[in-house]
A and B are shown apart, each in its own frame.
Chain A
Amino acid sequence: MCRLAFWSMSLQCWDDALVSALVGWPPWLEASVQHSSQFWMANMYSKGTKRKFFDSVDAAMDNKAALYSRQRQSLLDMSLIKLQLCHMLVEPNMCRSVLIANTVRHIREEMTHDGSWQLVTEAFGGSGPSDHLVATEVLCRSSALEQQGGGPKLYSVMGYDGCREEEVVTDEALCSVTFSDGAPSLLGTIDHCWDRAELRMAAVENRVIKDSGSEVESGEGAKTVMGQVFGTFEIKNVAPGSDLALEELFSAVDASYYDLDTMLTSIQSTPKMGPYNLLDSMASSHGPTSNSSCRTDLSELDHIMEIIVGS
């Protein structure tokens, strides 16, 4: 059963948690939220008490603007996460990815127009968040925050046609992810990807991996990321046994899959870490870490699967 009222709930939580949640956010997110809250607060208190009526109207308008800004920010975050995790869907859907990407562009345009994009780009040292592997920045959290505990939910896109196990990011979850007590839930939420991940890992083991991880980090722009995302929807129609140059073969391999493999194997080996921290560490390491650990990780994966199924 899908929770329609969720959106209004999360906004309410946002108001409450605004101050406390600022600790540990990535700088650009913190900056943009602080900007909007400071803006709101500055306008709230800058007027004298005599013109109470106008104050309240102005305050209401500023409040509305701040609210809109927060909503927009939240939508941007959500869209970026969806885009990044599109290959984890049960049924790949290019139309969906294109529509989400257009939404991100639209938000960016609007934010550029009203100047709020400035804060974001400054935090990135000149390039916007979508110029990098954004999800990693959005979802990367300091270890201090993990120790806070609490019950923020994991954002995961389960199945395209199911509203079942979609657990949506609350405002708190935007700030923090605790993995230690959430390990089974994480594994549960990406259960559909096990088979794929296993197959991919098996395929990866037998290949020489080109260092394609650097492409992701180059900061060439949203373009590289979008291109990669859309590229993952291609079906290669190559008859087995056809003559292909080795380079051609590997150039068609998409780097993001190896990243997913690394993420999953890393989860296996370091269950204490948050999954999105791993995305960050994955982004910084060029290409998949070690294939030698894949075999042991595979057996560990099997073990975990047995536990889940057996329970």
Chain B
Amino acid sequence: MGEDTESSKGNHSFLRDYVTEADVISTVEFNHTGDLLATGDKGGRVVVFQRETVVGHKPKGELDQVGETGESGEYNVYSTFQSHEPDFDYLKSLEIEEKINKIRWLPQQNAAHFLLSTNDKTIKLWKVSERDKQPEGYNLKDEEGRVKDISTVTSLQVPVLRPTDLMVEVRPRRVFSNGHTYHVNSISVNSDGETYLSADDLRINMWHLGITDRSFNIVDIKPANMEELTEVITAAEFHPHHCHLFVYSSSKGSLRLCDMRASALCDRHTKLFEEPEDPGSRSFFSEIVSSVSDVKFSHNGRYLLTRDYLTAKVWDLHMEKGPVETYQVHDYLRTKLCSLYENDCIFDKFECVWNSSDSVIMTGAYNSFFRMFDRETGRGVTLEAWRETSKPRAVLRTRRIYTGGKRRRGDVGVDSLDFTKKILHMAWHPEENIIAIASTNNLYIFQDRVSPDTQGPDLGSDTI
């Protein structure tokens, strides 16, 4: 997936950083079966991994025998393609970044796979298909495709399909452009299988997958006077089952659930989820740390998971006045907010994910750490995605941040955290306990070998 970014500070360090910058992974997403894993990077490339089918792989649902590790397939590169190219806005003399902000898979309907990928401006629908047969025996063309000399053709033959080496073809099928004035931060495919939404800082549009020249604007929070702008949209998602419902989060920490049946323009929310501010802990940074960086519906559609700078929260769709669960991701940073504001780390956007049964939530942190919280017990665990400490097939051990009291060996002090190593993007397999963690330009895939189908913190690791 690219080289490690560890590089000595030399005179050319800024050039070197620029070169490897393109390899930084910017999004990770499993498809609906979990057999394919797509990653997008800052260079506009998409790499699709496929899980290899191992002979003897136990089908889902069967319990592993005690002592058997199980033969879960590994993920190997399936296809790589350049999704977006660097673009240039001539009017403003600005580069439009080719970085892939989000990838979303469509539910599979035939042998081909479809995914949507987006940069700041343009959304593209890609078809990923396999070809393992090739027609041979044309009358007018030879094997290389050159036109045959007519005089050499003496008899008529019927072309036949012959098996060849597997080829994976990726073709752009639709390009949805000119829909957004501001930077696209989210896309979400609707459960109806025909439409999807795309959200930028101020607007949300709904598209039909088959129509590229127009979209419906369903949310618009742009004020008449840009000087009055105080809030932007940070993420949006369709409900997993109800095709008329979607949610979007804002930089002020609120969530709005909208029903498209109510009106064409969903500026007025159906439900507003907001936690009242604790007056005791108010500071100049309160608003910034309350800004929601990611929002995800649970698989059962009953809960919402949000991530703000310091916490992850679970909200019940039936209760708007506050979250039902709050998990402290890295509360030790609360006293360091000023420094984090100085170096801009306070604006980092962490993603959050549910596991398949909605019993565990996961999100990223700094120093290559990521956190998992068991909703039933409320307990959290810190794990590390770092090449030096994760050998393939080794069991991940939990890490601790030292914040006072008795210091154990292996504890990491708050002041020695590396804020350049941040885990922003991650994905959880839709059915099994397999997680994909992106750490700058490395992708880590961890599989639970002990209990592949139930939750549990025991994880083995495969580093890619």
Q: A2 near B17 (CB under 8 angstroms)?
A: no
Q: B201 near A200 (CB under 8 angstroms)?
A: no
Which one of B229, B338, B344 has the greatest number of beta carbons of chain A within 10 Å? B344
A168-B343 in contact given A5-B415, A72-B284, A162-B420 (Cβ < 8 Å): yes
For chain A, residues 203 to 237, give those with C-beta under 8 angstroms from any C-beta of chain B.
Answer: 203-204, 222-224, 226-227, 230-237
Q: B89 near A235 (CB under 8 angstroms)?
A: yes
CA distance A196 to B17 in the complex (A): 17
Q: A96 near B181 (CB under 8 angstroms)?
A: no
> Which chain A positions have C-beta within 8 A of B17?
162, 164
For chain B, residues 165 to 208, give those with C-beta under 8 angstroms from any C-beta of chain A.
Answer: 177-178, 180-183, 201
Q: Which residue of B lies closest to A236 (CB)?
A: B91
CA distance A234 to B181 in the complex (A): 5
CA distance A116 to B288 in the complex (A): 24
Complex interface: stretch among A101-109, A171-179, A265-273: A101-109
Q: B229 near A226 (CB under 8 angstroms)?
A: yes
18 contacts between A and B (CB under 8 A): A3-B343, A6-B339, A7-B336, A71-B338, A75-B284, A98-B229, A99-B347, A106-B287, A162-B17, A164-B17, A166-B344, A192-B14, A196-B94, A199-B93, A233-B201, A235-B94, A238-B91, A253-B91
CA distance A2 to B418 in the complex (A): 7
Total A-B residue pairs with C-beta atoms closer than 8 Å?
160
CA distance A74 to B228 in the complex (A): 25
Q: Is A181's CB within 8 Å of the partner chain B? A: no
Which one of A95, A168, A222 has the greatest number of beta carbons of chain B within 10 Å? A95
CA distance A7 to B182 in the complex (A): 34
Q: Is B110's CB within 8 Å of the partner chain A? A: no
Complex interface: stretch among B54-62, B124-132, B230-238, B385-393: B230-238
A94-B419 in contact given A103-B287, A166-B342, A236-B92 (Cβ < 8 Å): no
Q: Is B227's CB within 8 Å of the partner chain A? A: yes
Q: Is B8's CB within 8 Å of the partner chain A? A: no
Q: B91 near A257 (CB under 8 angstroms)?
A: no
Q: Is B226's CB within 8 Å of the partner chain A? A: yes
Q: Is B12's CB within 8 Å of the partner chain A? A: yes
Q: Is B99's CB within 8 Å of the partner chain A? A: yes
> Which chain A positions have C-beta within 8 A of B417?
4
Which one of A96, A163, A235 has the greatest number of beta carbons of chain B within 10 Å? A235
CA distance A3 to B345 in the complex (A): 12
Q: How large is the interface on B (under 10, 10 to 19, 20 to 34, 35 or more residues)?
A: 35 or more
CA distance A203 to B291 in the complex (A): 37
> Which chain B positions have C-beta within 8 A of A223?
225, 227
A165 CB to closest chain B CB (Å) equals: 8
CA distance A249 to B90 in the complex (A): 11
> Which chain A positions have C-beta within 8 A of B342?
6-7, 78, 166, 168
> Which chain B positions have C-beta within 8 A of A7?
336, 338-339, 342
Q: Is B152's CB within 8 Å of the partner chain A? A: no
Q: Scan A16-60; emit 1 where CB is below 8 A from any B CB, else 0.
A: 000000000000000000000000000000000000000000000
Q: Is B351's CB within 8 Å of the partner chain A? A: no
Q: A235-B181, A237-B121 are in contact. List 17 more A-B contacts (CB 8 A).
A: A2-B419, A2-B420, A4-B414, A7-B338, A78-B341, A94-B232, A95-B234, A95-B251, A103-B287, A162-B17, A163-B343, A163-B345, A166-B343, A227-B226, A232-B92, A235-B89, A235-B92
For chain A, residues 151 to 167, give those with C-beta under 8 angstroms from any C-beta of chain B.
Answer: 157, 160-166
